[in-house]
Amino acid sequence: MPDNPRNSPVSLLPRPGEVTADGSEGLALDAATRISADQAAGPTLTWLRRELGAATGLPLSIGHEQDARIRLSVDPTAGLGEEGYRLIVDTEGAIVVGHDPAGVFYGAQTLRQLLPADAYRDAPVGEASDRWKLPSVRVTDAPRFRWRGVMLDIARHFQPKREILRFIDLLALHKLNVLHLHLSDDQGWRVEIRRYPKLTEKGSWRTESQVGMTKPPVFDGRPHGGFLTQDDIREIVAYAAERHVMVVPEIDVPGHSQAAIHAYPELGEVGEIPVGTRWGIFDEVLAVTDHVLDFYKNVFDELIELFPSPYVHVGGDECPKTQWKNSESAQQRIREEGLADEDELQSWFIRRLGDHLTERGRRLLGWDEILEGGLAPGATVLSWRGEEGGIAAARAGHDVVMAPTATSYLDYKQSESPDEPVPVGTLLRVEDVYAGDPVPSDLTEKEAEHVLGAQVNLWTEHIDTPRRLDYMVFPRLSAFAEKVWSTHERDYAEFEPRLVHHLGRLDAAGVEYRPMDGPRPWHSRPGVQGWG
């Protein structure tokens, strides 16, 4: 990379593997510029024409390979590696070659970053500009990890389809490729299941929500709810696939299930309960009867029809065992199955669902608590309680996705300032996200092969608007994106100027990110009344 990325025409994020820029004149885009693509790169051509056409006001017509100035192609023999690409720009044109369609798409994303930041803003209708120039550059690039993900919790506070689509675009901008949707929890059920309509009729709304983390708790007195229809899900999945983002569904069991139990009280141990309004961990859990297992197998069958992802997340976290200790049906199940205790009972429950998913060609994914009591072969562990779960799983031969709270929880506070909104958890600054390595140092080289990658998690107890979501996610997500993409040794001093440059792109895209110099008192922001 150039010595001064802040002023360089090739200030890219995430940092590519190899970049050569000689400073010579590059390619100017104008009304005569044509784009071509082979069949495999066709979807990226459609995306690039749409995005750049809207920003530049140029027609960017489709041409033949011999007369096109921008050419896209897939070549698995080019030695680029999975999701890898090569981008070459000179006065004659711009060429993007990808190992696969994803590689072409990521090369096109890099091409877009070479343009002024306004390439991320729609131009006024009828306006075209002569300032759209690509610098002369050669880029060869491929990702470090194949799992580069974000978990978005839409159970605590619902995000409608339009916001999820916008979020997918922002993931794709950063070359991230997994959106893990947390679809159910104590406080709401967010996906239509046609066999069980009460899940959304009754379980998708709560009477009010806790505000902040005060004791005793304070509530807002406002109903909150919503859910995604199956048609919504199909649109989201298709939109994500066009941007090479895999959408992984999560239905959390056997804890965090108050909304489901409210809809169908026979699922629980104590009969009727309300949809949760407080944040935290609660004793209400699913019963471990055949009826409950059949119910959730049917739920997952519908999800499998909607989500082509090979992974299905079953939660498995924060499941208190109090009700099972006092439940005759749970204790009978322990005796019948020859289980040692309630921890093994949870493992038994998860294994039954894992077997069901395996029969249908899918892989079970769960939080690291699924290790307790033994883990089914083929299950993948998402390690959140530090690195320990990921280390134990990798050593046992299980694939792992790392998301330890210390470097991965984007709902955590970003400074110690009294102006920081809802200062939850421990301090997690941009530089903290950037510094943490996804591969635990305790793993051997062979064990580390089980680390598929990493993800950050965005829990939304205190994030109830898109504006709050932007503030908590960015620019920390930009730091994470480089960590999971780039193979370079990381140096925050080198990264920060490129991040500052990148903020111009986020500005143009309308992202209301947290300023680098920290939060400001709300009364100093013109037109802002609180944080709504």
Pick the last residue of a domain from 106, 141, 176: 141
Long-range CB contacts for residues 199-203, cutoff 8 Å, separation at least 24 = 199/259, 199/260, 199/263, 199/264, 199/299, 200/227, 201/263, 202/262, 202/263, 202/275, 203/259, 203/260, 203/262, 203/263, 203/275
Within-domain flag for 390: yes
pLDDT at 264: 98
Do 390 and 475 fall within a single domain? yes
pLDDT at 485: 98
Residue 73: what are its φ and ψ, rounded to 5°? Answer: -155, 155
Give the model's pLDDT for residue 1.
38
Residue 208 lies in a domain: yes
Which pLDDT score, from 0 to 100, does residue 25 have? 85
Residue 235 is among the residues annotated as catalytic for this protein: no
Is 90 exceeded by the pLDDT of residue 474? yes
Are 262 and 313 within one domain?
A: yes
Catalytic residue among 185, 250, 387, 399: 185
Count Cβ atoms below 10 Å from residue 360 Cβ, excluding itself: 12
Q: The domain containing residue 324 runs over which residues? A: 147-487
Q: Would you place residue 91 in the very low, low, confident or very high pLDDT band (cuts 50, 70, 90)?
A: very high
pLDDT value of residue 527: 36
The verdict on 24 and 41 lying in the same domain is yes
Residue 232 maps to a domain: yes
CA distances to 119, 369, 389, 440, 457 from 512, rounded to whole Å, are: 17, 35, 35, 33, 19
Residue 194 has what DSSP assignment?
A: T
Distance CA 481, CA 409 (A): 14
182 is annotated as an active-site residue = no
Residue 132 lies in a domain: yes
pTM: 0.95
**214-230 confidence digits (pLDDT tens):** 899 999 999 999 999 99
Residue 256 among the catalytic residues: yes
Residues 242 and 285 in one domain: yes
pLDDT band for 418, please (50, 70, 90 cuts). confident
Q: Is residue 532 part of a domain?
A: no
Cα–Cα dist 1/19, whole Å:
6
DSSP conformation class of 415: -
Instruction: Convert the pLDDT of each residue in 483-531 to its tens digit.
Output: 999 999 999 999 999 999 999 999 999 999 999 998 865 434 433 333 4
Q: From CA 186, how far away is CA 459, in angstroms rounded?
A: 13
Residues 198 and 55 in one domain: no
Residue 50 Cα distances to 46, 57, 58, 218, angstroms: 6, 10, 10, 47
* pLDDT above 70 for 162: yes
Q: What is the pLDDT of residues 368-395, one digit of tens each?
A: 988 887 777 789 999 999 999 999 999 9
Catalytic residue among 163, 169, 318, 343: 318
pLDDT at 5: 41
Q: What is the pLDDT of residue 374?
A: 75
Same domain, yes or no: 432 and 323: yes
HSE toward the beta carbon, residue 151, CA cutoff 13 A = 33
Other CB atoms within 10 Å distance of the CB of residue 292: 22
Task: State pLDDT tens for residues 129-160.
Answer: 567 999 999 999 999 999 999 999 999 999 99
Confidence class of residue 128 from pLDDT cuts 50, 70 and 90? low
What is the pLDDT, as a whole number, of residue 3?
40
Q: Looking at the structure, do residues 230 and 370 belong to the same domain, yes or no?
A: yes
Q: Judge whether 499 lies within some domain.
A: no
Q: Quote the pLDDT of residue 532.
A: 36
Q: Is residue 502 part of a domain?
A: no
The answer on 130 and 155 residing in a single domain is no
Q: Where among 94, 122, 141 does a domain terminate? A: 141
Does one domain contain both 252 and 106?
no
Residue 111 and residue 182 share a domain: no
Query: Which tokens sit at 22?
Result: 């000689």
Residues with Cβ within 8 Å of residue 257, at least 6 apart in sequence: 184, 186, 267, 268, 284, 285, 286
**Residue range 333-345: average pLDDT?**
96
Whether 169 is covered by a domain: the verdict is: yes
- Number of domain units in the chain: 2
What pLDDT was estimated at residue 126?
52
Mean pLDDT of the chain: 93
Partners of 94 in the beta sheet? 70, 89
The active-site residue, picked from 256, 462, 501, 502, is 256
Mean pLDDT of 315-323: 95
Which of 141, 158, 183 terminates a domain? The answer is 141
**Is residue 132 within 8 Å of residue 58, measured between CB atoms?**
yes
168-206 pLDDT, tens digit per residue, is 999 999 999 999 999 999 999 999 999 999 999 999 999
Are 183 and 41 members of one domain? no
Q: What CATH number does residue 202 fall under?
A: 3.20.20.80
pLDDT (mean) for 458-473? 95
